Amino acid sequence: MHRKNGVVLLLLLGLVMPAAAAEKPPLAGWASYQAGDYAAAFLMFKAGAERGDRVAQYDLAMLYWRGEGVPRDRTLALKWLQQAAAAQLSSAQYVLAQVYESGDGLPRDMAQATRLFEAAARQGHRDAQVSVATQYYLGRGARQDYASAAHWYQAAAEQGDVGAQYLLASQYEHGLGVQENWREAMRWYKRAGAQGDRAAQLKAKALADGHVGQELEMQKQNSSAR
């Protein structure tokens, strides 16, 4: 996922589904939200949030941010988002990290963004794994650490993130934070390529062609030396 300034606003305005969608059984208010009855959803999310339900707190934050069923109020949105994040809800940690990263609603704080990305990543949040890997790769909000970047890119790559697969392949190709290993590089380029990443397809082919040529040349040299 490529993150730019203002992405938080886009996420909160429609690309982030309420966390209740994944709850079993569904959170009270989720059916109303799906039906477009935001006023009823708001009342039920608010009741749940005040009882300490972290998913309701997150969903209530989203309603306040978007102004669905209630006037838009960033202050209240951030209040409930921070409570859900403090209760270790990975979705809330990830979105709050993006708020800190962009400075869209809170003072920009890259170190806090990195801490929150990593907290969500440790819970298996794939986008957070990509984000914290990028923080370590660039040395943004944390010291530059290619090994940690590779660790988190691999976690996301194993969950099928095509961008993480490509970047992990590049680290193996160039020996950044991992032992240089062209076979591993080619394996991850191929996995990204299988998902339609054209650049990864070309890299895998070039890498294979180059190393096959080198191996043939070495075999020829060994034969002539005998």
Going from the N-terminus, what domains does the chain have, and what CATH number goes with each?
1-144 (1.25.40.10), 162-226 (no CATH)
Supply the pLDDT for residue 46.
Answer: 96
Kindly state the DSSP code that residue 35 receives in the 8-state scheme.
Answer: T
Supply the pLDDT for residue 18.
Answer: 53
> 75: how many CB neighbours lie within 10 A of its CB?
8
- The b/e string for 16-41 (b: 16+ C-beta within 10 A; e otherwise) is bebbbeeeeeebbbbebbeeeebebb
Q: Which residues of the chain have pLDDT under 70?
A: 1-26, 211-226
Q: Please, are residues 73 and 42 in contact by the beta-carbon 8 Å criterion?
A: no
Q: Please, are residues 128 and 153 in contact by the beta-carbon 8 Å criterion?
A: no
Supply the pLDDT for residue 20.
Answer: 52
Q: Please, are residues 134 and 155 in contact by the beta-carbon 8 Å criterion?
A: no
Q: Which two tokens stand for residue 172?
A: 């193996």
Who contacts 72 (Cβ-Cβ below 8 Å, separation ≥6)? 64, 65, 66
Supply the pLDDT for residue 28.
Answer: 80
Supply the pLDDT for residue 25.
Answer: 54
Who contacts 41 (Cβ-Cβ below 8 Å, separation ≥6)? 29, 30, 32, 33, 59, 63, 68, 69
> 2: how many CB neighbours lie within 10 A of its CB?
7
Residue type, 83: Q
Supply the pLDDT for residue 3.
Answer: 38
Supply the pLDDT for residue 208.
Answer: 86
Q: Which two tokens stand for residue 81?
A: 């988002």
Supply the pLDDT for residue 220.
Answer: 45
